Amino acid sequence: MKTRAAVLQAIGRPQPYAESRPLVVEELVLDPPGAGEVLVEIKAAGLCHSDLSVINGDRPRPTPMALGHEAAGIVRELGPGVTDLAPGDHVVLVFVPSCGHCVACMEGRPALCEPGAAANVAGNLLSGTKKLRRADGPVHHHMGVSAFAELAVVSRNSCVRIDPELPLEEAALFGCAVLTGVGAVVNTARVVPGQSVAVVGLGGVGLNAVLGARLAGARRIVALDLVDDKLALARQLGATDTFNAGDADCAQTVRDATAGGVDLALEMAGSVKAMELAWQVTRRGGTTVTAGLPHPDHRFPLPQVALVGEERTVKGSYIGSCVPIRDVPRYVELYRQGRLPVDRLLSERVRLDELNEAFDRLASGRTIRQVLVV
Ligand code: ZN
Ligand code: ZN
């Protein structure tokens, strides 16, 4: 069959992308689903900072690659052996397919699945195959999903079935921004009622962390970003205190306002500067969690003595330490009860041929969560 998809031609093209056009919408050949795979009609896909990190080279990946990893759609066809989904089912796509039997999967940590991670780095599906082709050869998959497209063949294990009542534009956000942001608070940091929390970086993931902190009963929710409009939105979503991270004495101001720092600080911007700020606003005995993805060469210098003398903890959080089949339905139910208003983060709807301009907007920091509507 054929599908139209946004294909990343090469990494590291200069901004503005409206001119250098790293993404080109192409008609590709899509092979039918193999064993354990399904064909999904993509209805909506979020534009995430990790897509931008592939485009700008912070997260090097092979090209050509059909981009997009945060999506929702409708199952259209089942490959051999798939018996627990049916055509017509609505699904959220998860960008680490889990094999179910590696050490990480056996420990109940499918986000760390080893074959899943290896397939993602190689640009393959979990089966080790590529389903997308153009005249000059195969096109790589992006994190087993490749959702900036009309159709996608994915591993069955990349799908979580959802309530069909949930609008698919909103459902898409659950695949990355919600899982990562809310999960960092409730699964990784395990915030309990009465604790104080800081969130550094207020994109789609960071604002979901603000929502998660409110849900978890945090007493103080300190939101930090360079853009004042995002601070205002964070206040509407439940932040109790906001500060502009660009102010020279920002860290000291936060420490003064929180009697020496917060119990848990979350770095959600994917930069060493944001991590430094998160570390500086964490109190003695507190925990700093990082969920951003900076360039692999960047280093965060850790004062080792503080780990001992202040009993500090630093933790990484990948996709919110999620178990997708457990967490996606939980978060969807909270959303439907009005307790996790992730629809407030949906800022613009874009079309397949507007992605380059949309990534310029994302790179400028002046948007929250844009969604491609297919
Ligand atoms: Zn993402
Ligand atoms: Zn596994």
Q: What is the pLDDT of residues 189-206, one digit of tens each?
A: 999 999 999 999 999 999
- Compute the average pLDDT of residues 165-184: 97
What is the CA(322)–ligand 1 centre distance, in A? 13
pLDDT band at 339 (very low <50, low <70, confident <90, very high): very high
- Report residue 285 as tokens: 């005995």
Note the pLDDT of residue 337: 96
Residue 285 has pLDDT above 90, yes or no: yes
Residue 8 has pLDDT above 90, yes or no: yes
Residue 366 has pLDDT above 90, yes or no: no
Which residue shows structure tokens 């280093």?
299
What is the CA(10)–ligand 2 centre distance, in A? 30
State the burial class of residue 27 (Cβ atoms within 10 Å of its Cβ: 0-12, 13-18, 19+). Answer: exposed
- Compute the average pLDDT of residues 106-125: 97
What is the biggest distance separating any 2 CA atoms in the chain, rounded to whole angstroms?
A: 62
Q: Which ligand is nearest to the CA of 45?
A: 1
- Compute the average pLDDT of residues 160-182: 97
Q: Tell me the CA distances in angstroms from 2 to 63, 134, 197, 208, one per residue in order.
A: 20, 10, 48, 36
What is the CA(52)–ligand 1 centre distance, in A? 9
Domains and CATH numbers, the chain: 2-175+341-373 (3.90.180.10), 179-317 (3.40.50.720)
- Compute the average pLDDT of residues 207-228: 98
pLDDT band at 212 (very low <50, low <70, confident <90, very high): very high
By the 8 A CB rule, do 294 and 273 touch?
no
What is the CA(216)–ligand 1 centre distance, in A? 22
- Compute the average pLDDT of residues 271-281: 97
- Compute the average pLDDT of residues 219-243: 97
What is the CA(179)–ligand 1 centre distance, in A? 9
